[in-house]
Chains A and B, each alone.
Chain A
């Protein structure tokens, strides 16, 4: 279990649904698929995600049903563990630690206590081997799985490059068909590299997919010379995956054409197609009764398809656009994240369900898949405060003369969707750099204005006008008389103050502040050298401040009342994101190959929270998403997470984007705990800790565990029938109630060297930051070690507990 209490980064969604082939449960009622670090259980009938099985610390790379118990599932991950799950209850049964990265997983019915996995070969780069992992039998949950025996050397890393076929049981043991394909080099005849391999379930036949779009069916392959093959050719490009039906009479293939092809009886003349699946097919899997099959697509979608090749339903995850130009915007109406989706589309993505809510076609043009073709794409998005208006900017990819269009969309309550209201061609002469709405509830509709800044050195103000028409009043947008510019510098950013009275526009090095009623230039700020990268106004109590980040590595806070620099800190800020519901601002820096998070209030030069090494990848975008209900439990320690959650979008080396969520380990079960002796006990314990916190709590950020220990939590979560005996649980339970001993770690100094590089401007700042850092690390240490010491009051409690009757536990 992960120690709760500390703030940690969790991949919460948007991760690739195509890490591995999906698996149907034996009764085909559930579909199990990989989503980043998690395995999800999806009910085929109700179209709901039933369970989220988390526990792996890295991407899950393979899932397979346990051939001996169809209610269990093996999963393997890059973190080097194989887990056995009860997927009906969503609980891990066993964890086998292998120790090396696991890239693919295979199971075999005849192999009683071992599974097969692909691991990288030690000491050699880019070579992989297939090993058989012996799963030791033991009582505990965490077991070692280090007994590896190499089956095959030099296999491909992809799970599609190995297939297990027919098994033959004979008195002398069992044999199985194992095929592995390598990536041979291009021959002159054509690109016939292998892309995937599958085995016929009943016969000695292997089907391979090739890069030139051919499928070859190999037979007689045990003979070195007289092997033979037949070719099926329909795909024009690489065959991404193949799947045989249960009897082997049908073969499914898919590729970049987004067409699922069904071949009958290995004949090239009899084939059926399911076209228009939307995006290239990456994996195909078949249910064991042959009724359903599912395809995993490159745009993070899972399609479930009936046996008669009728499209049934789909699960759409986050679409990974090549370049998220729009940034991460929160739709105020649905609280969904809004970003680039399919080319020319805007996707509304729900983080709660990790699914796409809907996709809005903005460009409204046919997208033609062709390399080198200049496409129009969506580059900027802005919502008005209530989400009634949506402004989008699209531009063609041409650098010199971009074809710009500004579109304004009105949310139509009747059709529950956005409708195009106004289309403005060439709003600016050059690229639009930023755009924001002013939308004040108090001021009514008149207040609604839109500001766009462009590289043509001006910012323009757009207003809504009414026009009477035979059909009624028509609202549309047109340009206001005012066009602002400053010394012919390129306008880069803009933002309105909270009350809408002030507009800040950054022109390269300078931040200009304008009165939004009279459009007078009020004042200017700058912090040379370096252009302004981000600006934002403070909110609530800090609304007199304006924050700017320069690309020269400074974060500056100016006071609007005094027109002076309040404070500045040297920080290479890539993302500056204010929380819309509180005065906190999150700044994410990128330095020496790690991203760090700083949360601060503009009125205090000291950050309220620092998280170093948030993740190894560069964080591209971040967004605060308002919570439905303010979080109470975390509010004391992390007030900035009270009303909103912070989400990041990172860009990993393999060009995958993930959304990461910092979230608090909360215990939902606690609140609804029935009144039992146990809950009373827990309540007391909690109360006690809260008291302690107030005693201790000065400037320290509390990250002591707020809720019960993992053991208790697990006790509550785990169904009774899989719990160990009560006597076994007792000691863990007792231990969990003990208070851990505060202990300073010796390693805390280590980080100081790194701190130097990010030295703040004045010394006092620096000290505080270091202090915070130390706190942080010490807590981490503490949680790891769990050294316990009993306080007197707890000893009393313990004695009481001992006298109590625990027979109720066994009754559970």
Chain B
């Protein structure tokens, strides 16, 4: 594997924002997720649950509800009172439309996706028509006192049920009149406490399912106004509810972090009578489960502990495969850290500010596994707060550590870092050319004299950095026509000639050559790219896809390398393909051209192209067994993938020089302590 001096960085104090709401695409291929900081993410189920798109949040734009409508259009509504459409190709929020009823607590689309209903603070339910290019207010439904916290359409679109505090009501859509109003805490003795209906669903059979703050899931016959069944699932509130498409299964999220499944089951074998039965409990979260979704094959839940959990339903999965595995996502599938190799600086990106740290250093050496004492502690140099309410899209520090750039939805900022003795000062570079915002990726060239900015529609802007603090727009690289508009550019790192930039979209990767013109296009692959890099000496492009495939493309020869072909023909190891998280970063060892270093959240891998590939019968993670073998036997057992799982969860890894590595960890426990206290629960044995 090679020996490295490792900087084990644990001072990246990232606290991912909690999950506020989830929306499953009606066709079940994508999942939209909104976080409490207003960020919206889109996960692609087909591409190994890859976090395909991220739209950073906005201070004034909280998202309370998301829904897909009219095909692939995603709408969000929040307490700002606006309904926002998200531009998924441009990764930005389009202009919002005011709902006109104060803060919006919930929004649902009807079964055809042509109408949106919103529930407002003032107790009104409003219907909006989805029209091309935006939405149009259609009409108001019957307004009653009490904020509308949740809504649900009847599958036939004839009725809407709206849940409020202490009651819910059923509204006839055509007449706009409330046809039934049901008090939910009518039977409760302790009725002094208000009972919040947090989630509601109207089934095709006319049954209303409500989840309330007393921890109950109740089934009502709305026409009669009677309670059919009541299940107390939790001692604390039941916050969220989702019904499967067949209406035979319900998932409920509670404020204790537990989720429960309720299933409609026949009482006796072959009998007609069916009853809802609480079946499986799941405890994946430590905090409130604010959002749940029910895909045909999985239960999806998101909690305030920032976790997204996808629990497949084993009985719905035909064959036992990788799809049957439980997945948990806490950290983003992208890089939030950049590293200045020469200056040994780390730039951490938070939602609204950046932090620049200098790595510690040691003079001692030691054996494998030893912890070396630091002679110079890591130093927090500067914190750079972003201006305005917008959150940061991307950031980068130049290899020499003198330039820092970041971009928000509307603006791009470039700073010059001055290190004078102990103090560090930042000076904003004036007159940065205005770009078509936003910038998705930033990249400094290896010699820090130019900056590449990946922008919308697959274009890349090249800036020349001028001393003592200025920049000039040199050139704009545009992808060949045909791929335009569909690209989500990625910039590779480690380009040798300072001008070699590759830009790869999910569909068509394309490569630009040093002459700043289109050089070639990498053949299409039907999965999203999760990371890519160009080798500084060989000019080979290494691409990692979200389905865990690895490809190596030779830029000078405009074709896949022989190694890559060998990998494709043999196939990768099964254990490699069945990993959970995508490769987020690729780097190279300048000393050893055959080495590729890559990492995902759970492992760090040194890929040695000179060694044979492992087949399915051998152990993929064999480093610990190799250690125990004698020298000769070890030689025989060696294979290309040298994997280290020591650092977890791994947010970033880079090579500072040929034998010095920096890894950035964010231990789950550290991050859990930053979260607010969960609901107090008695635990046995404490």
Interface residues of A (CB under 8 A from B): 166, 168, 202-204, 217, 219-220, 222-223, 225-231, 236, 266-270
Within 8 Å CB of A225, what residues of B?
A: 314-315
Within 8 Å CB of A266, what residues of B?
A: 277-278
Q: Which of B228-236, B392-400, B410-418 contacts A (4 or more CB under 8 A)?
A: B228-236
Minimum Cβ distance to chain A for residue B273 (Å): 9
Contact indicator A219/B234 (Cβ below 8 Å): no
**Which B residue's beta carbon lies closest to that of A236?**
B684
Q: List 14 A-B contacts (CB under 8 A).
A: A166-B268, A202-B267, A204-B266, A204-B269, A219-B263, A219-B277, A225-B315, A227-B315, A228-B265, A229-B279, A230-B278, A230-B281, A231-B280, A270-B232
Within 8 Å CB of A168, what residues of B?
A: 269
Q: Chain A's interface: helix, strand, loop or mixed, by majority?
A: loop
Q: A203-B267, A231-B280 are in contact. List 9 more A-B contacts (CB 8 A).
A: A204-B266, A219-B279, A228-B263, A229-B279, A230-B278, A236-B684, A266-B278, A267-B278, A269-B233
Contact indicator A269/B215 (Cβ below 8 Å): yes
**Which B residue's beta carbon lies closest to that of A231?**
B281
**Which A residue's beta carbon lies closest to that of B267?**
A203
Within 8 Å CB of A269, what residues of B?
A: 215, 232-235
Contact indicator A230/B280 (Cβ below 8 Å): yes
Minimum Cβ distance to chain A for residue B317 (Å): 9
- B 182-238 contacts with A by CB, 8 A: 215, 231-235
Complex A-B, nearest 9 residue pairs according to Cβ-Cβ distance, in ascending order? A225-B315, A228-B279, A269-B232, A226-B315, A230-B279, A219-B265, A203-B267, A204-B269, A204-B268
**Which B residue's beta carbon lies closest to that of A270?**
B232
Contact indicator B231/A267 (Cβ below 8 Å): yes
- B 219-274 contacts with A by CB, 8 A: 231-235, 261, 263, 265-269
Complex formed: what's the CA distance from A268 to B277 in Å?
12
Task: Please pick, from B215, B232, B265, B685, the residue contacting A220 in the complex, using a CB distance under 8 A.
Answer: B265
B interface residues, how many (CB within 8 angstroms): 22
Within 8 Å CB of A228, what residues of B?
A: 261, 263, 265, 277, 279-280, 315
Within 8 Å CB of A231, what residues of B?
A: 280-281
Contact indicator A204/B277 (Cβ below 8 Å): no
Complex formed: what's the CA distance from A162 to B280 in Å?
24
Complex formed: what's the CA distance from A220 to B313 in Å?
15
Complex formed: what's the CA distance from A219 to B271 in Å?
13
Q: How many A-B residue pairs have CB under 8 A?
A: 54
- B 526-560 contacts with A by CB, 8 A: none
Complex formed: what's the CA distance from A267 to B269 in Å?
22
Within 8 Å CB of B279, what residues of A?
A: 219, 228-230
Task: Please pick, from B232, B263, B314, B315, the residue contacting A267 in the complex, using a CB distance under 8 A.
Answer: B232
Complex formed: what's the CA distance from A223 to B266 in Å?
12
**Which A residue's beta carbon lies closest to that of B271?**
A204
Complex formed: what's the CA distance from A225 to B297 in Å?
13
Complex formed: what's the CA distance from A266 to B231 in Å?
10
Minimum Cβ distance to chain B for residue A535 (Å): 53
Within 8 Å CB of A268, what residues of B?
A: 281
Minimum Cβ distance to chain A for residue B268 (Å): 5
Within 8 Å CB of B265, what residues of A?
A: 219-220, 228
Within 8 Å CB of B235, what residues of A?
A: 269
Complex formed: what's the CA distance from A222 to B265 in Å?
12
Within 8 Å CB of A222, what residues of B?
A: 269
Contact indicator B277/A230 (Cβ below 8 Å): yes
Within 8 Å CB of A203, what residues of B?
A: 267-268
Chain B 278-320 interface mask (CB, 8 Å, partner A; 1/0): 1111000000000000000000000000000000001100000
Minimum Cβ distance to chain B for residue A740 (Å): 62
Minimum Cβ distance to chain B for residue A154 (Å): 24
**Which A residue's beta carbon lies closest to that of B261?**
A228
Complex formed: what's the CA distance from A220 to B263 in Å?
10
Complex formed: what's the CA distance from A325 to B565 in Å?
79
Complex formed: what's the CA distance from A160 to B16 in Å?
50
**Which B residue's beta carbon lies closest to that of A265?**
B231
Contact indicator A204/B263 (Cβ below 8 Å): no
Complex formed: what's the CA distance from A269 to B681 in Å?
13
Minimum Cβ distance to chain A for residue B265 (Å): 5
Complex formed: what's the CA distance from A266 to B265 in Å?
14
Within 8 Å CB of B278, what residues of A?
A: 230, 266-267
Complex formed: what's the CA distance from A223 to B270 in Å?
11
Minimum Cβ distance to chain A for residue B263 (Å): 6
Within 8 Å CB of B314, what residues of A?
A: 225
Task: Please pick, from A204, A226, A227, A230, the residue contacting B267 in the complex, using a CB distance under 8 A.
Answer: A204
Minimum Cβ distance to chain B for residue A171 (Å): 15
Minimum Cβ distance to chain B for residue A82 (Å): 31
Complex formed: what's the CA distance from A217 to B445 in Å?
62
Within 8 Å CB of A270, what residues of B?
A: 232
Minimum Cβ distance to chain A for residue B386 (Å): 45
Complex formed: what's the CA distance from A719 to B234 in Å?
60
Minimum Cβ distance to chain B for residue A418 (Å): 39
Minimum Cβ distance to chain A for residue B493 (Å): 41
Complex formed: what's the CA distance from A195 to B424 in Å?
68
Within 8 Å CB of B281, what residues of A?
A: 230-231, 268
**Which A residue's beta carbon lies closest to that of B234?**
A269
Complex formed: what's the CA distance from A266 to B278 in Å?
8
